[in-house]
Amino acid sequence: MSLYKRGRIYWCKWTIRKTEIRETTGTADHQAAQEYHDRRRAEIWREQKLGDVRIASWEEAALQWVEEHAIHKASYETDRVRLIWLNERLADKPITHITTDALLAIRKELMQTRAASTANRFLAIVSAVLNYAHAKGLLAGVPKIPYLPENNDRFLWISRAQADRFTAALPDHLSAMTRLALCTGLRRANVTGLMWENIDIERKIAWIWPDEAKAGKAIPVPLNTDAIAVLKERSEQKKKLKKITIADARYVFTFRGKKIERTTTKAWYTAATAAGIDPAFTFHGLRHTWASWHVMSGTPLTVLKELGGWASLDMVMKYAHLAPGYVANYAENITSAAQARGCNSGHSAEDVSEDYRQDGGKLGWLMGLEPTTTGITILQRKKKAA
């Protein structure tokens, strides 16, 4: 086994069963690299002489996990993009060296550009790979995963003015994808994987198959005027290409003849900064924005649930506060104008009943229900028999 430098970092090199293996020590300090070298030499000796289990690298364990589990998940495309990011930082590490401290460093880097919930999704993939390695006997134990606390009640969304500035600052392909997401509420994987064969422009509809949907059921996607404009724009751009690749012919969104995999790139964050948008805003924030715009425009939550392909109404309730409904009228009860009328309430008993008949239905309408009965039944004492 030998120790050598590649750039500033020390690397180890050795041969196992006539196969040359190279492994980074991850440090530019010679003493620390030597310690790593000696420890790995002892591990390899025990493997060859005593039959100890070979210590797998992160890349090996991750590849096996993908082939056995991840490739069958509905979120495979999203997981794959996250794995690419993680592999850039963990590829040459033995899985035994992926400690809680190492994951804290990754978490710190994630927090610089991503929300807590997104950072946790990356850490969840690390957890899945390590647990898989443990189940296979490649790892004695799984370190504690340093998940971040999440505030599930909050989400990032942008205004229409911000959206206009944002799309104008993005490259053409990302701008088109962003505009379509704002029109349809489609998730990132459904936008990047959208195929021409799943679109009917004449009928103004697209569809997501059950195996492509997070909830596992098909989603009909009505296409409004803005969405149709984006699709026609993409179609015209494809016709102008000198060379049409297989990806160009199949997918709506491509870049340099290839299917787009990553969306939140450097160009994304640069455009977000230029538009005055929170750096933690991700592509999924476009779905939050679409839903927020719908609710503020009066779309019932039950209708929004079907449009967005959510599994239950509870998942849509996070947007309900953006449309306060009939209760907004009663906010005027304690204004100075109401007090000037010399009453504690801006409504008489008769007014309340009338207001509820006219506006109370809005709450039920917001939920997609029929307006409730507002009449009052007065119970009278029964007369005793003579």
Our answer to whether residue 160 is catalytic in this structure is: no
Catalytic residue among 80, 214, 238, 318: 214
* Dist. CA 156–CA 292, nearest whole Å: 10
Our answer to whether residue 383 is catalytic in this structure is: no
Catalytic residue among 36, 310, 326, 365: 310
Q: Of 115, 61, 66, 150, whose CA–CA distance to 283 is shortest?
A: 115
Catalytic residue among 287, 288, 294, 305: 287
> Angle, to 10 degrees, between the axis of helix 100-111 and the axis of helix 116-135?
150
* Dist. CA 341–CA 331, nearest whole Å: 16
Our answer to whether residue 114 is catalytic in this structure is: no
Our answer to whether residue 310 is catalytic in this structure is: yes
Catalytic residue among 187, 188, 305, 362: 187
Catalytic residue among 114, 234, 284, 288: 284
* Dist. CA 360–CA 130, nearest whole Å: 54
Our answer to whether residue 284 is catalytic in this structure is: yes
Q: Of 93, 79, 322, whose CA–CA distance to 189 is shortest?
A: 79
Range list of β-strands (E), 128-246: 199-200, 205-208, 219-222
- DSSP letter, residue 156: -
Our answer to whether residue 259 is catalytic in this structure is: no
Catalytic residue among 36, 132, 251, 319: 319
Burial class (CB in 10 A: 0-12, 13-18, 19+), 304: buried
Question: What amino acid positions are annotated as catalytic residues?
Answer: 187, 214, 284, 287, 310, 319
